[in-house]
Chains A and B, each alone.
Chain A
Amino acid sequence: MTLMRLKLWPRSLSGQMALLIALALFVAQVVNFALLLNERKRIRIEQATRPAVTRLVDAADGNSAEGPLFGRNGGIDLLPASPIRNDREHRADVEAALRDALADTGVKFGRIETEVRPIAANDPRMKRWRQRGLQRWLRATDEIVIAVQQPGRGWLVLRAPWRRGDLGFVWGLVAQTLILYGIILLPVLWIGRRLSRPLRDLAAAARDFTPGRHDAIEERGPQDVRDVIAAFNALRLRVTGMLDEKDRMLGAIGHDLRTPLAALRVRIESVEDDDDRARMADTIDEMNRTLDDILSLARVGKPSEPITDVDVAALVDAVVEDFRDLDQPVQFDEPVRLRMKLRPTLMRRAVRNLIENALKYGGAAEVRLREDERQVVIEVADRGPGIPADRLADVFDPFTRLEASRNKDTGGIGLGLALTRAITRDAGGEVVLASRPEGGLRATIVLPR
């Protein structure tokens, strides 16, 4: 039910406007229609009853069955019994109207019966009607037979043309409604589109917003929409300005921190003890890597690298190979070619971070690459201690490392996963961590194709 409603309910602005107006129009038309129909019914009954009442009163006053009002000319017959059969269609509304009208005249009468009969096309009376030009009779498809009982006298019977249900009238109304719809809804749809097109453009621009591109959206549409677009353009400039500011700051930090690091790195070359020097060099390298990670993480939203057509299988393979060159135990079965559009250097880094983690905590990494029609999955698994289920989400936060693993040997400050996730999200994908049933952790990069 809810689903149905959701489906029928248009989501666009112009659609909703049109639907609301159509509904309102429809309700108005139904009310209008009901009133009109009621009025027409009243007129119809009146048309049938008023002459009949006059004639009935005259006939009753005439007191004679042989008067000029009777028989062929007057159209009223005096019959001993009601010609009306109860199993035929009768009109209670006409009967009630007659009873009221006759009661007003003071004429005494008993039962009133009616019957609607179709007029056959070859009805013998046709000729007479035509001669006398009785349009009402000629147009009618039915006649209503009215029989009024006069106590002690018999039944006064008369006939009047009867117009059955207003089918033509209904069709007319339907046509009118449709024309109204045409006249009103088409402009509404047009205006709605005029309104919503700039809004849609705005939505698209907000979605595709990449800092650094300054092209403002054209302000068009009604004033309210123009205001929104102008506000968005201003917001865009502000965001771009802030991001530029951030980049400048990061560049300065990068430079200002690397310079003393570089000086330190040069100076330790004079340390005599080889072990000491090597350890110092390692520390400096680690600080530098952390600095690199911080700068990269801060820059992910604004990468300088273009998106290119890349063989992902070769990309993962190249990363794995770099680890193997350093004699690290990384298992990976070289898969077939797998084309994708992404930023290769960043994605290399994302995969490298996962493998680094697996090696750091699990001692070895098993890498797999899977694909189906919708996505490409890069999986890095280890047989390390894994992560407790309730902490799985935490490890993505920059500078978070699990207490258990916080020891001097493992190094790093926990930017790796945050960076991997930022890179993957930038590519439209997601990183998922899960404990393996056989122990260890499985990190997966899921990329949409």
Chain B
Amino acid sequence: MLQPEAMGDTPHLLLVDDERSIREPLAQYLTKQGFRVTQSGDAESARTRLAAYAIDLVILDIMMPGEDGLSLCRHIRETSETPVILLTARSEETDRIVGLEMGADDYVVKPFSPRELAARVKVILRRAAGGGMRQHAPDSGSFAFAGWVLKSGERALVDREGVSVPLSTGEYNLLHALVTRPRQVLTRDQLLDLTQGREAAAFDRAIDNQVSRLRKKIEGDPKNPELIKTVWGGGYTLAAEVTRL
């Protein structure tokens, strides 16, 4: 249902926020960025508009009077595949995780940069148009591989003994990209692309450097890596079974 629009010239966004002071200038900005934007001040009218239009992506404020964003998010997830980006006023980890468990594809914390939001919208639309498969939000869930558990909410690896090994933002993004694509060969460019757009940090850090740091943390012998393998011709792959927890 969203393909024709997403593939077409102007993707149609539904922007749901009770704060007019945010909603209106944001809609203006997104329109300037080449999106078609429909605004909605509460969950009720958002439901009506979801039914009336072919919406490609919903930008949804969590804190709203009446029915809140989380509940609307759950409703959208139950009835359609439309991607959702949450706007949250709180930066507490638990809030993000709850939102992502509700099926949101991504979130931004207020105050956010409209550019970043637009970039994320584009990433998600491209993903939806390309693979067709909905991707889980990058920050949801945990992944088990080779005795390790990568915990998204805490940005940490947990080893066999239950000891949490915190990761830097760059390391986390890289490992996450690998863990969500086990046994796929990812080139440096792909990895750079996949690790971008999440946080301001660690964009231009050489991927090789991050890989060698990760190897030190998870490989038994970093000199002879068995988990993160270098592939001839320039790329890396995670040679392990990954279970989503």
A residues contacting B by CB (< 8 A) are 251, 254-255, 258-267, 269-270, 281, 284-285, 288, 292, 304-305, 308-311, 314-315, 317-322, 325-326, 334, 337, 339, 344-345, 348
Contact in complex: A263, B164 (CB < 8 Å): no
Tell me the complex Cα distance, A254–B168, Å. 27
Shortest distance in angstroms between B87's beta carbon and chain A's nearest beta carbon?
Answer: 8
Contact in complex: A345, B154 (CB < 8 Å): yes
Tell me the complex Cα distance, A25–B177, Å. 79
B28 — which chain A residues lie within 8 A by C-beta? 270
Can you show 25 pairs from A to B with CB atoms below 8 A apart?
A255-B89, A258-B89, A258-B110, A258-B111, A265-B111, A266-B25, A266-B29, A266-B111, A269-B115, A284-B111, A288-B111, A304-B93, A309-B161, A314-B166, A320-B168, A322-B168, A322-B170, A325-B202, A325-B205, A334-B216, A344-B154, A344-B164, A345-B93, A345-B154, A348-B166
Tell me the complex Cα distance, A80–B94, Å. 116
Q: A267-B25, A309-B161, A339-B163 are in contact. Are A322 and B110 (CB under 8 A)?
A: no
Contact in complex: B164, A310 (CB < 8 Å): yes
Tell me the complex Cα distance, A263–B29, Å. 12
Q: Tell me how many residues of B have a C-beta within 8 Å of chain A.
A: 40
CB-based nearest A residue for B170: A325
B63 — which chain A residues lie within 8 A by C-beta? 255
Q: A269-B115, A317-B168 are in contact. Are A311 and B25 (CB under 8 A)?
A: no
Shortest distance in angstroms between B196's beta carbon and chain A's nearest beta carbon?
Answer: 13
B residues contacting A by CB (< 8 A) are 19, 21-22, 25-26, 28-29, 63, 87, 89-94, 110-115, 154, 156, 161-171, 201-202, 205, 213, 216-217
Residue from A261, A325, A326 within 8 A of B110 (CB atoms): A261
A258 — which chain B residues lie within 8 A by C-beta? 89, 110-111
Tell me the complex Cα distance, A161–B166, Å. 94
A314 — which chain B residues lie within 8 A by C-beta? 165-167, 217
CB-based nearest B residue for A306: B154
Tell me the complex Cα distance, A254–B62, Å. 14
CB-based nearest B residue for A267: B25
B112 — which chain A residues lie within 8 A by C-beta? 262, 265
A255 — which chain B residues lie within 8 A by C-beta? 63, 89-90
Contact in complex: A319, B162 (CB < 8 Å): no
CB-based nearest B residue for A264: B111
Shortest distance in angstroms between A93's beta carbon and chain B's nearest beta carbon?
Answer: 83
Residue from A265, A308, A317 within 8 A of B114 (CB atoms): A265
Q: A259-B21, A266-B29, A321-B213 are in contact. Are A309 and B111 (CB under 8 A)?
A: no
Tell me the complex Cα distance, A292–B164, Å. 25
Shortest distance in angstroms between A349's beta carbon and chain B's nearest beta carbon?
Answer: 11
Q: A292-B91, A314-B217, A325-B202 are in contact. Are A266 and B166 (CB under 8 A)?
A: no
